[in-house]
Each structure stands twice: as structure tokens, then as C-alpha cells.
Amino acid sequence: MTDTALPDNLLALLREVDTPTVCNAIEVAQGKRGFNRFTRGTMQHSQPGDPAIVGFARTARIAGLAPSAEAPEVIRERRMDYFRSMADGSGPTAAVIEDVDFPNCIAGWWGEVHVAVHKGLGLAGAVTNGVLRDLDVIDDGFPVLAGSLGPSHGFVHVVEIGTEVCIMGMRVAQGELIHADRHGAVVIPSEVIPALKQAIDTVVASEKIVLCPAREPGFDINKLEEAWAKFEAART
């Protein structure tokens, strides 16, 4: 499924739950463990308390460690083509940008200007393995999940638009649905989308089997054994 509108109730739910819950729910929907389309390592989040980033990916690749060997007019035109691509696609959409210099990224593509521009173009947020900067002045309401923080834009330029990208071990194609928060990001496989709301409800309900008694007075090992047996029967 690419750039296809989500049911309103699913979109609202996805914005409320965290990414670990979505990761678990995908396994429930698939009926097995082993789902692995998620980022690795610790990433930096611009606004850790913001709702999750949910959107169909608008992808691109950038570089900034060294100047481009291409003519300046080619670089300028590609940047405008990039913005046109970011503005395209039915919502919700999110920017997913690979810095090809990783792990030696220096180019702060995501700062005050680009956050304002992408937010103005209607995107829900951004995920990148590259650099985030301008933390104190970037607009609210456009969360960025980044590979690192830094002060410079380097020689940043767009390399490719709309191609498959790799963000911290997570491969993402243009139009794939992503979910991201301060824990990291996941790609939601298109085949689980119809069952995802029910799967999230199942995850939340099964966890309550242990969480509710664990948080009540008088909880002990006997109550844990009873609750855990029910939990194991209900989980994937």
C-alpha cells in the first residue's frame, strides 16, 4: 500500500500509541514473532513528548561531508525537485531522508528553515540518519527523529529523490507507511494495515493482564504466576 488514505480511526489511534506498541501489534497481526523492519541504535528526537510521526514516506538521499561535483544549477534544480516530491502524495506523509555520509554525517538538513518548510508543505514529521540542529528555535508540531545533533549544514545537497533509503538499518521505499517516536521508527507492512487497529487493541488488552494486578496493593509472586499464565496465553 502506498500513499493510500488511512481510516480516520486508525490514523488517530496510531498517533496516540508509541512505536513499541506498533512493533508488537505488527507481530500480532502477522501471527508470529520476528518482525524486523525497525531502526537500530539510539536516535535523537526534537520533541520527545510530541505525538508519534505517522505518514507515508517521501524519500530522498542527501550528502554534505564534501561539496558536490555537479554544476550548481543542477544542484539547485534538484533541490526544487525534492521540494516538489515532498509536497506530492496524499496524506498523511512524512519525510524519510538518508544521509549517505553516515556514520560521519555533519550536514544539518533538519533545522529551523527546513522544519518550517516541510511543515508548511503538510508533512507530519521527518525521520533521518543524519543531523538535526536549531533545537531551540524549530517550529512546534513537526517532530524530527534524527541520527545525531550538530551545529553545521556542511556542503549539504540532495543526491537522489524517491528512491529506497536506509535509516539506521531500516529500509524504506517511497510510499511505505512509517511510525516513529523517541524510541525509533518502524515500517508498517501494507498487508497488516487492515488488521492493525484490532492488533493494537489486543496488545494493550493483553498487557493489562499483568499491569493491572502488578500495580495493585497486595501483589505478590502467587498473583504474578496467575497473571503471567493468562498473559502468556494471550500474547504472540
Question: Using one digit for the tens of pLDDT, what is the confidence trace for 49-98?
Answer: 899 999 999 999 999 999 999 999 999 999 999 999 999 988 899 999 99
Could you tell me if 129 and 163 lie in one domain?
yes
Could you tell me if 118 and 46 lie in one domain?
yes
Asked if residue 146 has pLDDT above 60, the reply is: yes
Could you tell me if 66 and 177 lie in one domain?
yes
Confirm whether 3 is domain-assigned.
no
Asked if residue 236 has pLDDT above 90, the reply is: no
Confirm whether 152 is domain-assigned.
yes
Could you tell me if 104 and 161 lie in one domain?
yes
Q: DSSP 3-state assignment of 184? A: strand
Confirm whether 4 is domain-assigned.
no
Could you tell me if 129 and 213 lie in one domain?
no
Confirm whether 47 is domain-assigned.
yes
- The pLDDT, as a whole number, for residue 7 is 82
Q: CB neighbours of 215 closer than 8 A, spacing ≥ 6?
A: none
**CA dist., res. 183 & res. 189, Å (int):** 19
**CA dist., res. 99 & res. 61, Å (int):** 6
Which residue range is the domain that position 140 belongs to? 41-186
- The pLDDT, as a whole number, for residue 25 is 97
For residue 116, give the C-alpha cell: 518550517
Lookup result for grid cell 493491572: 212
Confirm whether 220 is domain-assigned.
yes
Confirm whether 1 is domain-assigned.
no
Number of domains in the chain: 2
Could you tell me if 59 and 169 lie in one domain?
yes
Could you tell me if 194 and 121 lie in one domain?
no
Alpha carbon separation from 150 to 89, 133, 159 (Å, rounded): 30, 6, 21
99 DSSP β-pair partners: 62
For residue 60, which amino acid is it?
A
Could you tell me if 115 and 91 lie in one domain?
yes
* pTM for the whole structure: 0.93
Give Cα 136 distance to the centre of its chain. 22
**Phi, psi for 73 (deg, rounded to 5):** -70, -30
Could you tell me if 23 and 126 lie in one domain?
no
Confirm whether 2 is domain-assigned.
no
Lookup result for grid cell 502467587: 222
Could you tell me if 20 and 70 lie in one domain?
no
- DSSP code of residue 87: H
Asked if residue 1 has pLDDT above 60, the reply is: no
- DSSP code of residue 228: H
Could you tell me if 162 and 51 lie in one domain?
yes
The mean pLDDT of 39-55, rounded to a whole number, is 96
Rg (alpha carbons) of the chain, rounded to whole number: 20
Could you tell me if 150 and 226 lie in one domain?
no
The mean pLDDT of 226-234, rounded to a whole number, is 92
The mean pLDDT of 151-179, rounded to a whole number, is 98
**CA dist., res. 119 & res. 205, Å (int):** 35
Residue 129's closest CA among 93, 102, 160? 102
Q: CB neighbours of 198 closer than 8 A, spacing ≥ 6?
A: 29
Asked if 97 contacts 109 with a C-beta cutoff of 8 angstroms, the reply is yes
- The pLDDT, as a whole number, for residue 18 is 98
**CA dist., res. 39 & res. 187, Å (int):** 9
Confirm whether 5 is domain-assigned.
no
**CA dist., res. 200 & res. 52, Å (int):** 15
- Write out pLDDT tens, residues 94-141: 999 999 999 999 999 999 999 999 999 999 999 999 999 999 999 999
| CATH number of the domain enclosing 180 | 3.50.30.40
Task: Enumerate helices (H) and strands (E) in the chain, giving the number of each.
Answer: 6, 12
